Amino acid sequence: MPVEKVRNTDNFYQTVNFLFSVLFEQPMPYKFPKTFTRVAQVTQDLLTERPLDICFQSVSGLDSDFETETVKEGGENHFEHVLPVRRKFGPLTLKRGLLTANESRITKWLKLAFDDHIVIPFASAQIKLLNEDHEPLMHWTINNVWPRSWKLGDLNAERGEVLIETLELNYNYLVLNND
């Protein structure tokens, strides 16, 4: 049985130079009409090719909030009760240098959604926080992931910067995994 590493909280420092990976699981099944052969082929490529891209320079939007409802109690005028109703998540924002559709399966997925108006959600994606040795420290799972927006940075020839694309993904549920 593997021995679990436990960090000593007496001399614990927050991870400063951290790494992360974003792993997309299989797309949800989608039935295409026979006229959509090109789109069906792109979807098949998403299912069978090498693992999806995991290289992003920034991840944000791993958040969960409660929507609330205010209830006024009859006869009690000093305060109102605020009750949690349902949870609300995201969106997840990923940033990276621009890649072409030939270089990136995520870009193929985005083109399918934004060019062909066919949104195929992924069943889940995992965001892993890694230490210096690329070992997972923590990981989060998000479910029913689909693209919400796809933006490019400024095209400015006067600045020698990498062109950054920003992917904003919607998801329905966020889980912090304990393993």
Instruction: Give the CATH number, domain containing residue 28.
Output: 2.30.110
Domain, as residue range, for 150: 16-63+90-177
pLDDT value, residue 95: 92
- Domain presence at residue 8: no
H helical segments located in 20-141: 37-48, 105-116
- ω into residue 91 within 30 of 0, thus cis? yes
The pLDDT of 49-67, averaged and rounded, is: 81
Tell me the sheet residues that pair with 138.
129
Whether the per-residue pLDDT at 34 is higher than 60: the answer is no
Residues 136, 47, 175, 88: what is their CA dihedral angle, to the nearest 10 degrees? 140
Whether the per-residue pLDDT at 17 is higher than 70: the answer is no
Whether the per-residue pLDDT at 93 is higher than 70: the answer is yes
The pLDDT of 4-26, averaged and rounded, is: 65
pTM of the model: 0.75
Whether the per-residue pLDDT at 47 is higher than 60: the answer is no
- Domain presence at residue 29: yes
Whether the per-residue pLDDT at 62 is higher than 80: the answer is yes
Banded pLDDT at 37 (limits 50, 70, 90): low
- Domain presence at residue 168: yes
Summary mean pLDDT of the chain: 80
- Domain presence at residue 156: yes
Whether the per-residue pLDDT at 133 is higher than 60: the answer is yes
State the Cα–Cα distance between residues 113 and 4, nearest whole angstrom: 42
Task: Count structural domains, the chain.
Answer: 1
Q: What is the sign, positive or negative, of the torsion defined by CA atoms of 45, 48, 50, 56?
A: positive
- Domain presence at residue 78: no
pLDDT value, residue 76: 78
- Domain presence at residue 77: no
Whether the per-residue pLDDT at 50 is higher than 60: the answer is no
- Domain presence at residue 23: yes
- Domain presence at residue 71: no
